[in-house]
Amino acid sequence: MAPAGFSLDDAISFGVDEFKKNKGFLIVLVLITESVDLSSDISKAFIEGYNPLLGIAVAVGAWFVATLLELGKIKISLDFCDGIPAKLSDLFMCAPLLVKFILATIVYMIISMIGFLLLVIPGIYWALRFQFYGYFIVEKDVGPIEALRLSYEITGGQAWSLFVFAIVCFLINLLGFICLVIGLLVSIPITMLAHAYVYRELLDRKSLFGYSGHARNSGGYSDYRPQESGLDADS
């Protein structure tokens, strides 16, 4: 029997509920992050026509900015799960973690690519199992390999559920895209918050860092109590 995991309905409902209560903030958040991605793509395409080397430099710089914003979105999503008021400035608060996240992402991509070379299914499986490494880096400031290991640990027995969850999130965002693209302003925050919720649920089940229970208060996890652990970044 697979260990208890997470509720897909609860995860999506959490995303929907939090979006309803914070739609203004979340829409601005998506506009900022997606505008940065779009403007960097346009700038890169324009510059490459005149100076290929400068175009490469712009592409690398844009990738670093996009990666930093990805860390910021993880932090903001976790704040929502914990009932902590989020701020747009949080998008840039994780800069000290950028190198760790980039290294972990490179290892994650290598693992996934190796898996896809092994008849695809192992690649999907490993991509699902290791996907939460960024959350551990943001929340616990662990190293790249430790973050990947912890992600693999909390997702034990949950590969199928995570696969279904990924499909549902894809369909939600596809629907947002079909709705004149504007629907993405709704679908992206919902799936982003749902993803953080799933991480919290899986971490809670393992009780690695003192999450004993997952009662929610005003949309957040009210009973998060950090405790000493052999897995703590400070140990």
169-222: pLDDT as tens digits: 999 999 999 987 789 999 999 999 999 999 999 998 876 665 444 434 334 333
User: What residue type is assigned to position 22 of the chain?
Assistant: N
Of 218, 232, 229, 226, nearest in space to 81 by CA = 218
Of 41, 27, 42, 6, nearest in space to 159 by CA = 6
Tokens of 110: 């290598």
Query: Into how many domains does the chain fold?
Result: 1
219 lies in a domain? no
Domain that holds residue 160: 8-209
CB of 14 within 8 A of CB of 197?
A: yes
56 lies in a domain? yes
User: What residue type is assigned to position 182 of the chain?
Assistant: I
State the residue for tokens 């999450």: 211
Q: 84: Cβ–Cβ under 8 A, 6 or more apart, which residues?
A: 220
142 - beta bridge partners?
A: none
224 lies in a domain? no
pLDDT per residue over 89-120, tens digit each? 999 999 999 999 999 999 999 999 999 998 88
45, pLDDT greater than 80: no
Q: 222: Cβ–Cβ under 8 A, 6 or more apart, which residues?
A: 83, 215, 216
216 lies in a domain? no
CB of 84 within 8 A of CB of 220?
A: yes
103 lies in a domain? yes
Q: What is the pLDDT of residue 113?
A: 94
